[in-house]
A and B are shown apart, each in its own frame.
Chain A
Amino acid sequence: GAVVSQHPSRVICKSGTSVKIECRSLDFQATTMFWYRQFPKQSLMLMATSNEGSKATYEQGVEKDKFLINHASLTLSTLTVTSAHPEDSSFYICSAAPSGKYNEQFFGPGTRLTVL
């Protein structure tokens, strides 16, 4: 149980295009989902917290117009990188917190984004 999937696992795009990454909780409902970014050989940095049915909360320094987050259902959150540039190339990881549970996050396998 408690499986989180991400799609796609890897994406390569041209500079200026937009890319959508999906995060799904497969066997539980998640009121809250989180999006992290990880640069090579670095730790995970929280980008934003996504709550179902409401606007996401972005961490300081993260452009909300650049990284659009939608959490339309209890099992799906999407991150759209708009007008991607090479500096957006990174490993994006989502996690989902089961509804009604304390201090639990289950992580997806990550999405490797490369912007040419």
Chain B
Amino acid sequence: AQSVTQLDSHVSVSEGTPVLLRCNYSSSYSPSLFWYVQHPNKGLQLLLKYTSAATLVKGINGFEAEFKKSETSFHLTKPSAHMSDAAEYFCVVSPVGYGQNFVFGPGTRLSVLP
């Protein structure tokens, strides 16, 4: 079975400071891991994904995440927050394989203060 924990329901940072959104997962199989962003009343946008290649994954808008198998973590980071980064972020796990379901974490709301 797969599950995802996002340790912080809300993170608040000042504009220009680093962002860290934490994600831990549990999976019976080698997982694929994803980060999605959702702006209010909008659909989901893929930020980045890990699929058993390089453990440090670079995504869009300056975000990156590192897969650490020993810690079962896939934390999302960005060196410098921008006001437009304020949104809901979801960590997702899926076992490797065709057509497998995505399991969503509870989400972390990122606020960016001026």
How many chain-A residues does the 8 Å CB contact rule pick out? Answer: 24
CB nearest neighbor in B for A111? B43
CB nearest neighbor in A for B49? A103
How many chain-B residues does the 8 Å CB contact rule pick out? Answer: 21
Contact of A46 among B43, B44, B96, B101 (CB under 8 A): B101
Does A31 lie within 8 Å of B44, measured CB to CB?
no
Which residues from B are CB-within-8-Å of A112? Answer: 41
Smallest beta-carbon distance A70→chain B, Å: 18
A40-54, CB under 8 A of B: which get 1 and which 0? Answer: 001111100100000
Which residues from A are CB-within-8-Å of B51? Answer: 102-103
B90-102, CB under 8 A of A: which get 1 and which 0? Answer: 1000101111111
Asked if B59 is an interface residue, CB under 8 A from chain A, the answer is no
With A44-B90, A44-B104, A103-B94 given, is the CB distance from A97 to B99 under 8 Å? yes
Main secondary structure of the interface of A (DSSP, over half): strand
Sample 25 A-B pairs with CB under 8 A, ordered by A number. Answer: A31-B99, A32-B99, A42-B107, A43-B104, A43-B106, A44-B90, A45-B104, A46-B101, A46-B102, A91-B41, A93-B44, A95-B102, A102-B51, A102-B96, A103-B32, A103-B49, A103-B94, A105-B102, A107-B36, A107-B44, A109-B43, A110-B41, A110-B42, A110-B43, A112-B41
| Chain B residues engaging chain A, CB cutoff 8 angstroms | 32, 36, 41-44, 49, 51, 90, 94, 96-102, 104-107
